[in-house]
Structure 1
């Protein structure tokens, strides 16, 4: 698709074929859309998110039982600890977004978070 300039007869492409305007990646290089994103990246992110949901639901569903059983906490103390854990996990994405945008980059952060989940859930 092109835009034609009637005065000069020059046609300008509406979208550049190999780069995304003036966008830069996290290393300051122009973004080349021929080798960025797509299904390879989407599959990676979806897989990590599925693993994260399984880990969260597995911990969430068994945490009160574990705290009241093997750890011997009262039901009230266990409920307070589970609510604290749930609130912390709800707010940690804000910290994660700051660290990701400021220091690590999205793919390194995803890999690090995935490895932490794996290490925590290994028995």
Structure 2
């Protein structure tokens, strides 16, 4: 009985694991909400897409991001577990964000800037392919993180222990505070809020 209690305590990290969980959530919200608020202007002004195609791209990204948590929850519950799902999804997410940044920075991955007297050239299919692949990786990474992070945090506490019961409530309060604050910061970065 004593051995089982010690093993159970080792698997539950308690408040020690919270910086990892909070940082993951803050980074995810800052990234997705931050580039989501600027993506329409980027697609129309830098890639020279028509407004309808740019809006369609954002809608498709939003829909994919909304559906991928189903896949993430299935993978976490059936195969990998929450920790490894979050870890691998964070790597996929980082690759997507890095490739999205590279596609915005490298001049060959964007059409030439518009100048007076020239015809505005839209992004080529190859340039759009890099953008769409980056957005897909970002959506897949985000979708695997979202269903796992909050439940992984809740798993770090033993509800049978009275002192950890209040820690669970503290965790949820801080988790949703961090999520809301990061969304607020991401939406207010270029405006006076």
Per the TM superposition, whether the score is higher than 0.5 is: yes
- Give 5+ residue unaligned stretches, structure 2: 102-193
- Give 5+ residue unaligned stretches, structure 1: 1-15, 21-29
> How many residue pairs align between the two structures?
99
For residues 95 and 34 of structure 1, the distance between their equivalents in structure 2, rounded to whole angstroms, comes to 29
Residue in 2 that maps onto 1:8? none
Deviation at 1:120, TM superposition (A): 2.4
Structure with larger Rg: 1
TM-score by length of 2: 0.46
**Within-5 A mapping of 1:52-67:** 52-67=28-43
Deviation at 1:90, TM superposition (A): 1.3
Larger RCO (alpha carbons 8 Å, 6+ apart)? 2
1:99 to 67, 71, 75: 75
Deviation at 1:121, TM superposition (A): 2.4
For residues 16 and 3 of structure 2, the distance between their equivalents in structure 1, rounded to whole angstroms, comes to 18
Structure 1, residues 98-119: CA drift from partner, whole Å, max 9, x if none? 0111111111111112122222
Structure 1, residues 18-73: CA drift from partner, whole Å, max 9, x if none? 646xxxxxxxxx95124523012222111111111011012201211121122221
Question: Residues 18 and 34 of structure 1 are in contact (CA less than 8 Å); yes or no, is this contact kept in structure 2?
Answer: no
**Within-5 A mapping of 1:15-54:** 19=4, 32-54=8-30
